[in-house]
């Protein structure tokens, strides 16, 4: 149950931060489909798929190490921070460089920061330990 509250709180904080940044910096709201890839251009799509596949392999490896070798959850969380940083960093770069609305990268970076802070909070306070 705690996980549900934590994810919901992270979602709400991300939404509120993005809303205020849109108002303060006058950033237009982009129309995005839910659960779609929303690539800026074909190069971004190719890079994004390389990141997704490599991170999926890394998560499988880290998960198996956690299960069979008793590695702590911290390794998985560090991998998630790295994945979020690379994925959102690449998205922010392509939004800044190639998007029709270059200010959109600010919202992507703010979302990345909120997600990283959430994961660091889990690590710092050992929230999901058994």
Task: Write out pLDDT tens, residues 32-84.
Answer: 776 667 889 999 999 999 999 999 999 999 989 888 888 888 888 999 999 99
In the predicted structure, residue 101 carries a pLDDT above the cut 70? yes
pTM listed for this prediction: 0.88
State how far the Cα of 44 lies from the Cα of 61, in Å rounded to an integer: 26
Query: At residue 1, does pLDDT exceed 80?
Result: no
Model confidence at 21, pLDDT cuts 50, 70, 90, reads: very high
95 neighbors 104 (Cβ within 8 angstroms): yes
Q: Percentage of the chain with pLDDT > 70?
A: 95
Q: 122 and 72 in contact (C-beta within 8 Å)? A: no
For the record, the structure tokens of 128 come out as 């999901």
């Amino acid at each position: 149950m705690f996980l549900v509250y934590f994810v919901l709180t992270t979602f709400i904080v991300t939404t509120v931060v993005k809303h205020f940044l849109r108002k303060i910096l006058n950033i237009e709201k982009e129309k995005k489909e839910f659960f779609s890839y929303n690539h800026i251009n074909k190069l971004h799509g190719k890079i994004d798929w390389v990141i997704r596949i490599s991170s999926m392999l890394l998560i499988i490896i880290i998960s198996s190490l956690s299960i069979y070798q008793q590695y702590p959850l911290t390794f998985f969380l560090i991998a998630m921070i790295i994945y979020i940083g690379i994925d959102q960093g690449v998205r922010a770069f392509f939004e800044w460089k190639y998007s029709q609305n270059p200010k959109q990268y600010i919202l992507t970076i703010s979302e990345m920061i909120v997600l990283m802070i959430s994961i660091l909070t889990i690590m710092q306070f050992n929230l999901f330990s058994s």
